């Protein structure tokens, strides 16, 4: 049975909003739309060990919702865009995958967006929690990091190097509210649509990601973990893939709504497996980019490469089954910044010929003038879902660089670890110690766009790895025999 650990500091901080009745998981109040499943779930819980564990049938629901705005809105990701979006090239989506029995289901949401912030994720989780009793740890929100989706309130707010006009900000705020509602809705749909299914996972490969700092010599993660959900007749209901690469195939003056390669991967997989819903999450690919960029056709090709590998893996049919016993945990850590610039340094920067650098410095000088204290750290959520001894799925906030994946692969059994980045929050890049020493865009200048005062202090990599180590069971430290 589900072993519920004590609330983490992160969940305690969210507890007030969640307003939960946790006296007993069996007595938990389930929303009206889940009542049928609840009755079914109670019956199943009694017999879960003897029935479902024996043939690995797990309640799974999957749903999708169109999140394409019906109006123009500033797109996030590229600093050079000066106008609101100019049409829709491809619809964008939020998808939800609900897995598990009523005493401990989890909901994984994937979103075609540059970055969903904690301010949205926590509200979504709290609203789902109010209706279903789910805790924050049971809900994960993964952004695809497409650079062709609407900006959300507070994410990369200094990207354009100038104040966002009032009417444009109003549209950003409007879309953020609408997206929040849709993320709640799609999650409830997935929970309500759970039915007995088989879940299997495996790992493939895609090769279009290259390290964007040093294309030939720096590391990159080409692995493509994939989770497949089938019904009792063997029909595929859902496919989740994760790949570690920026969704920056199209760039420059492209100012239309588009999912980039994750969007094309989803549509190609759904074309290949009619009736299935495809979800894409992003791994530790913050220093990786597609090997072919610029044309929309390249984004389509990258998506087709992912879909082709999904077809091959399904044809090969070497999936490890998961039995639905899931232990979810979440915590939040503080990552400290290096010493902040002095007023004199801010003043000097405010005269920079680089528009964003100058604007960033002016914003910080204004804050100092108003007597505000500047932030000395940023919060980062880290979440784990443990599927028994079979799979540990990690969710790390921010734009996480490949060194984290490589270090986790060395520390843990890499054959049972699945790392999702851009998860639950995207506060900034999460540079490694190596990149902090090297300097450059990811550890340093990118902080300007994210409205962070400076780069991280040394030691953040260890803080993150230590937290993951604390959240993961000991038996993941060694390869399974
Ligand atoms: Zn990025």
Please give the pLDDT value at position 18: 43
> At residue 433, does pLDDT exceed 60?
yes
How confident is the model at residue 7, as a pLDDT? 59
Q: How far is the CA of 442 from the centre of ligand 1 (A)?
A: 8
Predicted pLDDT of residue 325: 87
Q: What is the pLDDT of residues 356-375, one digit of tens each?
A: 999 999 999 999 999 999 99
State residue 56's pLDDT score.
Answer: 81
State the distance from the centre of ligand 1 to the C-alpha of 117, rounded, in angstroms.
14
Distance 13 CA to ligand 1 centre (A): 28
In sequence order, the 6+-apart residues with CB closer than 8 A to the CB of 242 are: 224, 225, 226, 280, 281, 282, 283, 418, 419, 420
Given a cut of 80, is residue 223 above it in pLDDT? yes
CA distance 57 to 199: 8
Residue 389 Cα, ligand 1 centroid: separation in angstroms?
A: 33
Ligand 1 mean position, distance from CA 145 (Å): 7
Kindly indicate the confidence band of residue 229, based on its pLDDT and cuts at 50, 70 and 90.
very high
Average pLDDT over residues 431-446: 97
11 pLDDT band, cuts 50/70/90, is low
- The whole-number average pLDDT for the span 268-296 is 97
The residue-averaged pLDDT of 432-451 equals: 97
Say yes or no to pLDDT of 25 above 80. no
**Residue carrying structure tokens 């043939």:** 55
Q: What percent of the chain has pLDDT over 90?
A: 84
Could you tell me the distance, in angstroms and rounded to a whole number, from the CA of residue 28 to the centre of ligand 1?
A: 40
| Average of per-residue pLDDT values in the chain | 90
282 CA to centre of ligand 1 in angstroms? 11
Report CA(259)–ligand 1 centroid distance (Å): 14
What is the distance in A from the centroid of ligand 1 to the CA of 127?
28
Residue spans of alpha helices (H) in 150-295:
166-192, 260-272
Please spell the DSSP secondary structure of 134-167, one letter per residue.
--GGGEEEEE---SSSB--TTSSTTTTSSPPPHH
Q: pLDDT value at position 252?
A: 72
114 CA → ligand 1 middle, Å: 8
* Per-residue confidence (pLDDT) for residue 27, from 0 to 100: 31
Q: Does residue 308 register a pLDDT over 80?
A: yes
CA end-to-end span of the chain: 25
CA distances from 239 to 56, 145, 187, 257 (A): 17, 19, 16, 24
pLDDT digits (tens, 9 = 90+) for 91-116: 999 999 999 988 789 999 999 999 99
6: confidence class by pLDDT, cuts 50, 70, 90: low
């Amino acid at each position: 049975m589900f072993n519920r650990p004590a609330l983490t500091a992160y969940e305690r901080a969210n507890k007030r909003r969640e307003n939960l009745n946790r006296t007993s998981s069996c007595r938990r109040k389930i929303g009206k739309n889940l009542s049928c499943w609840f009755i079914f779930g109670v019956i199943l819980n009694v017999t879960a060990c003897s029935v479902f564990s024996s043939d690995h049938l797990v309640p799974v629901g999957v749903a999708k919702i169109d999140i394409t705005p019906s109006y123009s809105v500033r797109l996030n990701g590229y600093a050079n865009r000066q106008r609101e979006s100019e049409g829709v090239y491809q619809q964008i989506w939020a998808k939800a995958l609900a897995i598990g029995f009523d005493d401990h289901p989890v909901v994984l949401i994937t979103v075609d967006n540059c970055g969903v912030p904690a301010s949205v994720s926590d509200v979504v989780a709290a609203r789902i929690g109010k209706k279903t009793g789910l805790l924050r740890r049971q809900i994960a929100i993964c952004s695809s990091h497409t650079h062709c989706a609407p900006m959300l309130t507070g994410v990369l707010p200094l990207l354009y190097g100038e104040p966002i006009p009032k009417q444009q900000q109003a549209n950003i705020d409007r879309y953020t509210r609408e997206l929040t509602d849709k993320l709640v809705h799609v999650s409830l749909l997935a929970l309500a649509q759970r039915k007995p299914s088989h879940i299997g996972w495996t790992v493939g490969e895609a090769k279009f990601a290259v390290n964007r700092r040093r294309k030939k010599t720096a590391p990159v993660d080409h692995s493509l973990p994939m989770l497949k959900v089938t019904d009792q007749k063997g029909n595929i209901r859902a496919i989740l893939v994760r790949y570690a690469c920026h969704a920056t195939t199209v760039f420059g003056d492209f100012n239309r709504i588009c999912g980039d390669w994750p969007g094309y991967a989803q549509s190609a997989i759904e074309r290949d497996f009619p009736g299935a819903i495809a979800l894409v999450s992003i791994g530790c690919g913050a220093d990786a980019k597609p090997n072919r960029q610029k044309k929309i056709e390249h984004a389509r090709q990258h998506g087709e490469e992912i879909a082709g590998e999904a077809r091959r893996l399904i044809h090969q049919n070497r999936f490890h089954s998961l039995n639905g016993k899931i232990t979810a945990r979440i915590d939040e850590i503080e990552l400290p910044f290096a010493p902040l610039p002095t007023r004199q340094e801010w003043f000097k920067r405010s005269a920079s010929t680089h528009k964003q650098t100058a604007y960033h410095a002016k914003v910080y000088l204004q804050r100092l003038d108003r007597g505000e204290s500047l932030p000395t750290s940023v919060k980062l959520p880290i979440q784990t879902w443990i599927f028994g001894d079979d799979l540990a799925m990690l969710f790390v906030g921010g734009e996480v660089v490949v060194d984290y994946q490589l270090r986790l692969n060395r520390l843990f059994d890499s054959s049972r670890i699945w790392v999702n980045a851009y998860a639950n929050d995207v506060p900034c890049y999460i540079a490694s110690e190596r990149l902090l020493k090297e300097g450059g865009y990811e550890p340093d200048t990118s902080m300007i766009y994210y409205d962070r005062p400076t780069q991280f202090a040394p030691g953040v990599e260890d803080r993150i790895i230590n937290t993951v180590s604390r959240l993961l069971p000991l038996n993941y430290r060694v390869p399974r025999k």
